[in-house]
Homo-oligomer: A and B are copies of this chain.
Amino acid sequence: MPGGTDEPVSSGGGTPAVVLVEPQLAENIGMVARAMLNCGLDDLRLVRPRADWPNEKAVAAASGADRVLERARLYPSTAAATADLNLLFATTARTRAMTKWTLTPRAAASEIRRATAAGIGVGLLFGKEARGLGNDDVALSQAIIAIPLNPTFSSLNLAMAVLIVGYEWRMAANAVETAADATPLAAVPGAVLQLPKETAPATAEQLQGLFEQLESELDRCGFLRITEKRPIMVRNLRNLFGRAGLSAQEVRTLRGIISCLVAGPRRPRGGSGGA
């Protein structure tokens, strides 16, 4: 029923993408599609799903949300799935030993609305059913969404987690419309999203390029030479820069800084003049 489930897109552009990292069961993907469309979301991205794709069981579980499944795209990695996005939220039930901005779904919903209204591409990352997101995927994200449920029984079905975040996103539309222009971007002095108007936020791909350059130079100078510590050091660095909510210009600046530090002192070098 193409078009039959269309509804007017909310003012101010895009909807957040839902990125499922290594989902195990096709039924859950179908239920996620249904929950997404319940909330008016339809950009579904699958990173290495275990089940074959497309999948009959997913279609059955989607209960009519076929259009979300038809649009769904497959990716080999979280980095590939989020390359065009600017602001990533890692959804998690347990706390992590990482320094990260952590928001409730409700607080995140306002930030997401503000971001997409400003043309910033948002991705919501959900991990596999049994274990949630890996630390590397959390490290790729600018912030964590922690769903505040019963701490003694927090085993939440994947589609349920998507529903809660999507529901709050939908509810936030009403809130934003009600508040009208009373809450300008600058009124929330948050570290996550506050970018000057003229500044384009970095894409995940640009960030990835920065990380790769930095890590390769750190390999060369021996900073990451202790093999068993390398993964955690890399993750910590990505966290650190991820938290800063870098603009595209800042990524270019940092890349220039790394090149400059590596090149060393400028000095006249017979003619062509270095740097």
Q: Which residues of A contact B (CB under 8 A)?
A: 4-7, 31, 34-35, 37-40, 63-65, 95-104, 106-108, 110-111, 143-144, 148-157, 159-160, 163-164, 167, 170-171, 174, 186-196, 199, 214, 217-218, 220-223, 225, 233, 236-237, 240-241, 243-247, 250, 253-254, 256-258, 260-266, 275
Contact = CB atoms under 8 A, between A and B. Distances in A.
Given A31-B157, A37-B150, A65-B153, A102 B191 contact: yes
A236 B257 contact: no
Contacts of A190: 103-104, 106-108, 186-188, 191
Given A160-B159, A194-B99, A264 B262 contact: yes
Nearest to A244: B244
B171 A106 contact: yes
B101 A191 contact: yes
Nearest to A31: B157
Contact of A191 (B40, B97, B188, B199): B188
15 contacts: A35-B157, A37-B150, A38-B160, A98-B194, A99-B193, A99-B195, A103-B191, A106-B171, A107-B189, A107-B191, A150-B170, A222-B260, A240-B246, A243-B245, A258-B261
Given A191-B243, A193-B102, A220 B39 contact: no
Contacts of A106: 171, 190
Given A188-B191, A194-B100, A194-B101, A155 B63 contact: yes
A36 to B, nearest CB: 9
A264 B218 CA distance: 9
Given A95-B194, A218-B257, A237-B253, 12 more contacts: A38-B156, A65-B153, A97-B196, A99-B247, A106-B190, A167-B167, A187-B189, A188-B191, A191-B245, A214-B257, A236-B250, A240-B244
